[in-house]
Amino acid sequence: MCHAPDAAAMRIDVLTLFPEMFQSVLGASILKRAAEPVTDPATGRVRPPVVRYVLSDIRDYSTDRHQKVDRPPYGGGPGMVMQCQPVWDAVKAVEAEQPELAPTRILMTPQGRRLDQALVQQLAEKPRLLIIAGHYEGIDQRVIDRLQPMEEISIGDYVLTGGELPAMVLIDAVVRLQPGVLGHEDSSQDESFSQSLEGGLDYPHYTRPAVWEGMSVPEVLLSGNHAEIEAWRREQARRRTGERRPDLLPPEG
């Protein structure tokens, strides 16, 4: 589907005023492991890092004496607007670090296209992403215009204090799709929004014990009949999708 197993690591640049916010998320668990070489204990083979995170502080690029990056909006109103200069210089400097690898530029903003699994899959195939996490009331529109083409992406119809958490959400969703990141190569197959579930919701899952607090696991899952289990799961997934997210059902016909 996407890269060959030994494809070069995806580079993810993040431009933010708060790089420290990313340390705990990118420095733990699966996102951390994705940026490290991992040795398979069974074969001794080393899987190289599949991703490289490069965090840049936009403030470092401010030419202001006091390293200011934001000013009140023209026309009045609340809040502050991020200025063009530091954002533009940061993007240009970071892109020049690896000029042969032009990034897909992304701005996290509530005014963007809403993120869904189809968009995540598209982005997961790119060799390099450059994500700008805006803060304050927004970014001066002129630098957004000048940085086109740039995907403006929202993680949902609610407003957060900045683009940092949305950037982390996007990174998590993209990195887990890189080959070799999830323990089992299949583990992003049968999941909500996947093609194998027709873009719908996942089915319910059960594990031991077979009876808990008087509640039994559905009989069919203990039957060992894989065809029946598959059919039951697909039926459950369809039913849930119809009940909870009818907007995700495939068109009739």
Residues in touch with ligand ADE (CB under 6 A) = 108-110, 154-156, 158-160, 162-163, 166
CA distance linking residue 23 with residue 224, whole number of Å: 44
Least separation in angstroms between CB 191 and ligand ADE: 22
- Is there a contact between 11 and 127 (Cβ–Cβ < 8 Å)? yes
Residue with tokens 């668990």: 29
In the complex, residue closest to ligand ADE by CB: 166
Q: Which is nearer to ligand ADE, 166 or 180 (CB)?
A: 166
The answer for residues whose C-beta is within 8 angstroms of residue 82's C-beta and 6 or more apart is: 58, 69, 70, 134, 135, 136, 138, 139, 140
CB of 136 to ligand ADE, least distance (A): 10
Nearer to ligand ADE, 4 or 159 (CB): 159
CB of 69 to ligand ADE, least distance (A): 16
Ramachandran angles phi, psi of 63, nearest 5°: -95, 0
DSSP 173-202: HHHTTSTTSSSSTTTTTSSTT-GGGTT-PP
Alpha carbon distance 105, 54 (integer Å): 14
Q: Please, which residue, 50 or 91, has the CB nearer to ligand ADE?
A: 91
Write down the least CB distance from residue 61 to ligand ADE, Å. Answer: 21
User: Least CB distance from residue 164 to ligand ADE, whole Å?
Assistant: 8
Between 154 and 241, CB nearer to ligand ADE:
154
Name which of 91 and 237 has its Cβ closer to ligand ADE. 91
The whole-angstrom separation of Cα 224 and Cα 237 is 20
